Structure 1
Amino acid sequence: MRNDNLWLNVMLDLKRSPVGIRFLFSQQDYDACSTPEIKAPLPYCAAVKNASTGTPCKLNLKNTACLSGARALGLLKPEDDIVDPNEIISGQRHHKMGLYADYSISRQIAKDMVYCTHQVYGIEIAELALYTDYNPDLVIITTDATNAMRIIQGYSYHFGQLKNVKVAGNQAICQECTSYPFEMNQVNLSLLCSGTRQVAKWEGDEMGIGIPFNQLDKIVDGIRKTSNPMDSNKTKKSILEKAKAMGVEEQAGIEMSSNYYTGGYGTIEYHKRKKAQSNT
């Protein structure tokens, strides 16, 4: 098993598998990819959802059932688009849909969207654990807020505060979790969007995190290094149980009752009394 995938599953309470995304730049790359081609047209975000539950696929423009996603990922060339690119770039399209209060706001949103600047033939979408002979370009984790917090704490351990987060609740999996993190080489959070919640049927409490693969090892290490100060004893017991089942219990480095917040809350008078008692 991949070391990064193993420790993500040991340290976090993930209901879905982390998903690796790999861009396939040519038809030759696409044909050489052993991951099965998607059987019927499907939006990219739904393919990511399927991969998170054990159904990997590769897709190209012909079987991608969402042109917005195809634009964001570099599958759809501007000259092949059925929509005038200026209508999208200008912000007119989303303004006409009623997504934003006025044209100026829609224009600002459109300008801030970061799409892949490359052109690719296809995309491989599979569980991170399945990438055994090569690495993905990006990893997407869909999970609840608690796990998202721990991932960002792991990120912050090595990289500092997560900055320049882009969240609009629109084009969530394709742009907020894929093209923006990939183009900017930056972790990004997403609250998902109405479109993907409808077509991919995510749970109500799920959110997404896009992680450039080159940062994953340090983030996983940060999650491990911050477990003792950050995690509760209940969580640590669960971590130890999973580590034991995976045969890595001795490597977990878990210390019970060492949280930074144990005994850390109380009024100023409470802490004065506590300090006085410790000095006697």
Structure 2
Amino acid sequence: MLRFIPGLMDKGSPVSLLFTKEKGEASSLLFCELIQKARYGESFLARAQGCKVGAYVLGETMTSPEDYYFDSGRYKNRQAAKRAVSSLHRLENRKSSIKIAPYSGGDFDILILFLKPERAMRLIQAYSWARGELVEIRTGGIASVCGDCTAYTMKGMMGISLGCKGSRKHTGYADEEVVVGIPFGIAGEIEEALGKIPGTFE
């Protein structure tokens, strides 16, 4: 049971994501909306969700969101939109459903947290404590919860994102919060480190 990692959040609970072969439902809610609802106590078993970008990133479809990004004015031209899509972190051909629930000590593949910058800094310091390695942040300000903090994190690395237009618009997490994804494989050492590293203002 993790104690220090959940304690970094000011509001709600970390969200546990577990990929499972159980048959889930198709939800009309966006993936980031499901995450935000789970933060405050709801649980879901989803095989699909309502975001076109999320569907591509989470391996529900092969349909590229290039046209969506270009038509919405996010990029100067279609070439830029295509390049942005090609840089997205994504899962390919996912067959599983995702259990999305507030963390309660059970199994998970990924934990999603919403943190103020100082708390995110401590998480980075905890990651670096054992090996001295840096955390790389690769984001284009798009597909934050689904791409930066879920698909990327499934590669075994911590994902940190400043958010994206869609997740901030539709889920309402605070302007001062950043999104972090922690894979199960490194959660234990981060938890240990948080109990050992000095506090920010000590």
Deviation at 1:44, TM superposition (A): 1.0
Q: How does 1:30-49 map to 2 (within 5 A)?
A: 30=23, 41-49=28-36
The structure that is strand-richer by fraction is: 2
Give the match for residue 200 of structure 2.
231
Kept after mapping to 2: 8 A contact 1:142/1:209: yes
Q: How does 1:231-270 map to 2 (within 5 A)?
A: 231-232=200-201, 259=202
Task: Name which of 144, 169, 172 aligns with 1:198.
Answer: 169
With the length of structure 2 as denominator, give the TM-score of the two structures: 0.89
Instruction: Name the SS of the counterpart of 1:205 in structure 2.
Output: coil
Instruction: Name the SS of the counterpart of 2:98 in structure 1.
Output: strand
Pair 1:119–1:143, CA change in 2 (3 A): same
With the length of structure 1 as denominator, give the TM-score of the two structures: 0.66
Segments of structure 1 that go 5 or more residues without pairing to the other structure are 32-36, 79-84, 233-258, 260-280
Give the match for residue 109 of structure 1.
84
Deviation at 1:65, TM superposition (A): 1.7
Kept after mapping to 2: 8 A contact 1:44/1:66: yes
Distance (whole Å) between structure 1 residues aligned to residue 132 and residue 77 of structure 2 = 36
Kept after mapping to 2: 8 A contact 1:162/1:187: no
Instruction: Name the SS of the counterpart of 1:60 in structure 2.
Output: strand
Instruction: Name the SS of the counterpart of 2:142 in structure 1.
Output: coil
Instruction: Name the SS of the counterpart of 1:126 in structure 2.
Output: strand
Matched letter for residue 68 of structure 1: V
Cα RMSD (Å): 2.1
Kept after mapping to 1: 8 A contact 2:9/2:114: no
Distance (whole Å) between structure 2 residues aligned to residue 180 and residue 101 of structure 1 = 26
The structure that is helix-richer by fraction is: 1
Deviation at 1:161, TM superposition (A): 3.4
Distance (whole Å) between structure 1 residues aligned to residue 135 and residue 83 of structure 2 = 19
Kept after mapping to 2: 8 A contact 1:14/1:147: no
Kept after mapping to 2: 8 A contact 1:16/1:143: no
Aligned residues: 202
Q: Which structure carries more relative contact order (alpha carbon 8 Å, separation 6+)?
A: 2
Instruction: Name the SS of the counterpart of 1:175 in structure 2.
Output: helix
Q: Does 1:162 align with 2:162?
A: no
Deviation at 1:212, TM superposition (A): 0.9
Q: Percent identity?
A: 24
